[in-house]
Copies of this chain bind each other. A is one copy, B any other.
Amino acid sequence: MALKFALLAALCEEPMSGYDLNQTFRTRLANVWNASHQQIYKELARLHELALVSVTDRPQQGKPDKRIYHISDAGKEALAEWLNQRQHRPPVRDPLLVKFFAGDLLELSALREELAAIKEDWLAQTGYYRAIEHTYFRAPDQLTPHFRLQYLALRRGILGMETNLRWLEEVETTLNDIDSQVTSRPAAKDREPS
């Protein structure tokens, strides 16, 4: 549902092709709404059918025509309507937390490797968000309301990443602790009774 309106919102700023929209989703919208290019193209076709966007094909040599999408008046109306309706909170569904819930059954070495990869990812994301903050939102209170609101979306991403990393530290501490307990006094069943 919301993909539709994320597309419309992006097209509100400026007319773009599906390709460009995909770039936008993978960068500026990365902490807001994820979508694959397949989904984007499909949804754009639907928006076109519904006349919420119009298309102008711009021919190119060596490449397929660039199809530029413009939001229509009907599109703006639909967007405004959606924006002023309450939306559901997204459900929490994190496979990593399922693993922690399973507890004992995971091999800690495998978990550690996964966590290391995730940490790199989170650090990279944080750096990326920080860079955007620094270049575009350096003096947030002097921005137009429009960009102040967008900045808040970015802030959500930054705060989220910081929390992720703080949580990872707790996890590492606990993991080390478990390790040292296990090696210093192994489970009774693995030993001769004393």
Q: Please give the residue numbers on chain A whose beta carbons come within 8 Å of chain B beta carbons, in ascending order.
A: 1-2, 5-6, 9-10, 12, 28-34, 76, 79-80, 83-84, 86-107, 110, 113-114, 117-118, 121, 140-141, 144-153, 155-156, 159-160, 162-163, 166-167, 170-171, 174, 177-178, 181-182
Q: How far is the CA of A174 from the CA of B142 in the complex (A)?
A: 11
Q: B79 touching A105 by the CB < 8 A rule?
A: yes
Let me know if B83 and A33 touch, CB within 8 A: no
Instruction: Decide if B145 touches A178 in the complex (CB within 8 Å).
Output: yes
Between A and B, 12 residue pairs with Cβ closer than 8 Å are A1-B95, A2-B98, A6-B101, A9-B105, A12-B102, A32-B94, A33-B93, A33-B94, A83-B102, A90-B95, A145-B178, A149-B178
Q: Which residues in B have their C-beta under 8 angstroms from that of A156? A: 94, 97, 100, 167
Name the distance in Å between A53's Cβ and chain B's nearest Cβ. 15
Task: Across the interface, name the chain B residue whose C-beta is closest to A34.
Answer: B91
Instruction: Give chain B nearest CB distance to A151 CB in angstroms.
Output: 8
Within 8 Å CB of A100, what residues of B? 32, 149-150, 152-153, 156
- Residue contact A2 to B79, C-beta cutoff 8 Å: no
Cα A155 to Cα B174 in complex, Å, equals 12
Give Cα distance in the complex from A79 to B98, angstroms: 11
For the complex, give the distance between the alpha carbons of A113 and B87 in Å.
Answer: 12
Q: Is B174 within 8 A of A105, CB to CB? A: no
Contact A174 B159 (CB under 8 A): no
Q: How far is the CA of A93 from the CA of B29 in the complex (A)?
A: 10
- Chain B residue nearest in CB terms to A148: B174
Contact A146 B103 (CB under 8 A): yes
Contacts of A150 in B (CB 8 A): 100-101, 103
Given contacts A83-B105, A159-B167, A163-B159, contact A148 B94 (CB under 8 A): no
